[in-house]
Amino acid sequence: MSFAPRDTHEAQVQFALERGVPAMIGIMASQRLPYPARAFDMAHCSRCLIPWHKYDGLYLMEVDRLLRPGGYWILSGPPIRWKKYWRGWERTQDDLKQEQDTIEDIAKRLCWKKLIEQDIEACIAPLPEVSNSDEIAGGALEKWPERAFSVPPRIRSNSVPGISAEKFKEDNDLWKERVAYYKKIVPPLSKGRYRNVMDMNAYLGGFAATMAKYPVWVMNVVPADSNPNTLGVVYERGFIGVYHDWCDIMYILLEMDRLLRPEGAVIFRDTVEVLVKIQAITKRMKWKSHISDHESGPFNPEKILVAVKTYWTGEKLPDHS
């Protein structure tokens, strides 16, 4: 996941998305980033303009929250290697040295370590407890691609209320069936026509896991008020996502229209009554749409609406001259 640390860098996010790379604006400020704890294996910062040494290490503590135990933080650019490059950075050696020393001091207090340093104590954020030295803090993960379908540690340890290993496997089977049907009613989905895909209610990430065999990446969205909170499970499966709050259906559709590329598609699953209301709004937005039966057949009350955003121009204004 690439993110721009300031609002003024939205163009960088646009460039990344147009290349088919997951990206978003994620301001490092007084609030947490919209990702679960222990989500990432590595965090990389190259001249990212984040003042890591300020505010008592607030920003590094947020990185510490996001990294899995054993994860890496990589920092390149000022003040690193200041002894060699300081002349081109328009800052004094003392200023750069003090900044790097402060960053390294915060890292030590977080129980981070360089490969050349040992015996760091007095952790600010200790790793999750384990019963013996053979266990992996936070739970062991399978290697990719097995990781996508193996039972995540948060489910194995019963940390997600109401989600058992059996329920996790049932969800995987359900999405395999659904995506096989989507392949029939939305042919471009599996043929490389689409690259950037969003699951607006990701739950356990079953859709993203099933789509992993196709040339797409999936942004998994978990509502901030969802119960249980499942975004950590999504990350443990090797996928990415964010917390977000959706609102009234009209505003959601308008936001979809803003985000979608022309000829991009949306798949809705709901009852006929709800889908007819949605279809009426999408028609006013100049989208083309059709309602299909559920993958299990016409007797299932849940139906599927596929809508495609079209190229269109406004009507010609009358000539009042």
pTM of the model: 0.75
Backbone angles phi, psi at 100, to 5 degrees: -65, -40
Distances (CA, A) of 229 to 125, 155, 171, 226, 283: 22, 12, 16, 6, 34
The string of DSSP codes covering 37-68 is TT-EEEEEEES----TTSGGGHHHHHHHHHEE
Q: pLDDT band for position 116 (50/70/90)?
A: very low
What pLDDT digit, counting tens, does each position of 287-309 carry? Answer: 999 999 999 999 999 999 999 99
CB atoms within 10 A of CB 189: 20
List Cβ neighbours of 209 (8 Å cut-off, separation of 6 or more). Answer: 148, 149, 172, 175, 237, 239
What pLDDT digit, counting tens, does each position of 69-115 carry? Answer: 889 999 888 888 788 778 778 888 998 889 999 999 999 999 898 65
Q: Candidates 3.30.70.20, 3.30.70.1350, 2.160.10.10, 3.40.50.150; correct CATH number of 2-109?
A: 3.40.50.150
What is the fold of 139-246? Answer: Rossmann fold (3.40.50)
**Domain locations in the chain?**
2-109, 139-246, 247-321
